[in-house]
Structure 1
Amino acid sequence: MLREVISNDWFTISLMLGLAAVALSKFLYAHRFSDFITVIGNSKYLKIYARDQKFIDGFDALFFTNFIISVSVFFYVCYVSLMEPVDFDQNQFSKLLFGVGILFLAKVLLERLIGSLFEIDAMIDTYLFQKTTYKNFTGIVLLPINCVLIYALPPSQPIIYGVITLIVIINLMGFISSFKNHQKLLLNNIFYFILYLCALEIGPYLILAKLIIDFNA
């Protein structure tokens, strides 16, 4: 059981920081927050706020903070539950948190750079906004799940795999939505689309998996 081998103090701090970021976003952007939490099955949020997106957006920044924290905590839970029970190491967890944050941030910046190089900034901005929205929603979903796994329910393999499946489904919905919006353009450039998937969609997650496996080495 996770609670028997790990001190919860740093997890409590991390989860509280994630919760504070979400609460602050609700306080500062109440109307947008209400639209955001209904994004699954409702395209209203994507249609309205895609037009007003900025390079640095306070709302997305707060949710990105929660996303990085929630994903890092969940990955740590996965590692301890599925691979090797270990005592909590603050330095190792900080490295994991930093690595996850840098990986996702670098991925977004690289995609924006590609958009500028090929002069498709408008399409890339819309695409990134949709992806970021679904990733941020994943962070919201993971926040209570992490609390349950750490403080209440032993994180067994079926539960872990069930949560991973849920995460994949949420982000797959975002990918399908983006693909449908740019279907004609992507099909006309199928080679570059496949190259993009391998380099910027599949590759970073393989790197992240290697990071998780080796972070305690």
Structure 2
Amino acid sequence: MLREVISNDWFTVFLVLGLSFIVLCKFLFASRFNDFVTVIGNSKYLKIYARDQKFIDGFDALLFLNLIISVSIFLYLAYTSLVNPSEFDLTQFFKLIFGIGVLFLIKVLLERLIGSIFEIDSLIDSYLFQKTTYKNYTGFILLPINCLLIYTISPTKHVIYACFILIVLINLLGFISTFKNHQKLLLNNLFYFILYLCALEIGPYLILFKLIKDFNA
């Protein structure tokens, strides 16, 4: 028997919307999508499609839309399960989606601006492609996880923390892959690399944490 969850109908709408973006992505980019789903443990996707990346990429855009929906649902579930149990608020949920989407987009644009200023566009483009790939893969994995948390598994503290660890591991793999590919260059500019991590990798997530903390403010 399915577990009763407040506002399952709204969650279902957003889950179907996220699934629609993934299905459309597979329909329009079948070969690339098949390579994408095996990106963990297989560098084929990164090697092939890094050469063909564009500033606005339809494949990544569709997966990005699913990403912000899936991340928003997961964070909403985590917040209402662990911090402040409450009724589903559609307005607050839209604010969360908007905040996460804007945060991710601003972060990417700032990184591209830095690449242009320091004339390292090719390095930044390669880095962003790999990072975006693993972030989109996180959204891809979160879709079925959200389904389980909403309809089957109770989102207890241990379950939520286990999901957070899985998300961190996926993105850590992406970071390690990027570091290995550009190890020499990064070590030669270690100070700037650490400055970058603090400003554009750690900083935005502190902002996201603040956004979630003040969610009901």
Map 1:36-185; keep pairs closer than 5 Å: 36-185=36-185
Q: Which runs of no fewer than 5 residues in structure 1 stay unpaired?
A: none
C-alpha contact 1:5 1:86 (8 A) present in aligned 2: no
TM-score when normalising by structure 1: 0.97
Q: Which runs of no fewer than 5 residues in structure 2 stay unpaired?
A: none
User: Take 1:15 and 1:122, find their aligned partners in 2: how far apart are those partners?
Assistant: 36
Please report how far the alpha carbon of residue 97 of structure 1 lies from its aligned counterpart in structure 2 after TM superposition: 0.4
User: Which amino acid in the other structure matches residue 74 of structure 1?
Assistant: F
User: Take 1:29 and 1:187, find their aligned partners in 2: how far apart are those partners?
Assistant: 37
User: Take 1:63 and 1:29, find their aligned partners in 2: how far apart are those partners?
Assistant: 11
The number of residue pairs the alignment matches comes to 215
User: Which amino acid in the other structure matches residue 211 of structure 1?
Assistant: L
State the partner residue of 1:18: 18
User: Take 1:5 and 1:114, find their aligned partners in 2: how far apart are those partners?
Assistant: 44
User: Take 2:144 and 2:80, find their aligned partners in 1: how far apart are those partners?
Assistant: 19
State the partner residue of 1:204: 204
Per-residue deviation, residues 74-122 of structure 1 (Å, max 9, x unmatched): 0000001110101111100000000000000110010000000000000
Per-residue deviation, residues 138-196 of structure 1 (Å, max 9, x unmatched): 00100000001011111011110000000000000000000111111111111111110
C-alpha contact 2:4 2:151 (8 A) present in aligned 1: no
Structure-2 change in CA distance of 1:144 and 1:5 (3 Å)? closer
State the partner residue of 1:35: 35
TM-score when normalising by structure 2: 0.97
C-alpha contact 1:138 1:167 (8 A) present in aligned 2: yes
Task: Please list every run of at least 4 consecutive aligned residues from structure 1 whose deviation after the TM superposition is greater than 6 angstroms.
Answer: none
Residue identity over aligned pairs, in percent, reads: 74
User: Take 2:129 and 2:95, find their aligned partners in 1: how far apart are those partners?
Assistant: 27
Please report how far the alpha carbon of residue 5 of structure 1 lies from its aligned counterpart in structure 2 after TM superposition: 6.0
RMSD: 0.9
User: Take 2:165 and 2:51, find their aligned partners in 1: how far apart are those partners?
Assistant: 31
User: Which amino acid in the other structure matches residue 180 of structure 2?
Assistant: K
Please report how far the alpha carbon of residue 6 of structure 1 lies from its aligned counterpart in structure 2 after TM superposition: 2.3
Please report how far the alpha carbon of residue 126 of structure 1 lies from its aligned counterpart in structure 2 after TM superposition: 0.4
User: Take 2:5 and 2:146, find their aligned partners in 1: how far apart are those partners?
Assistant: 16
Please report how far the alpha carbon of residue 215 of structure 1 lies from its aligned counterpart in structure 2 after TM superposition: 1.3
C-alpha contact 1:22 1:63 (8 A) present in aligned 2: yes
User: Take 1:5 and 1:37, find their aligned partners in 2: how far apart are those partners?
Assistant: 30
C-alpha contact 2:5 2:150 (8 A) present in aligned 1: no
C-alpha contact 1:53 1:129 (8 A) present in aligned 2: yes
User: Take 2:94 and 2:216, find their aligned partners in 1: how far apart are those partners?
Assistant: 12
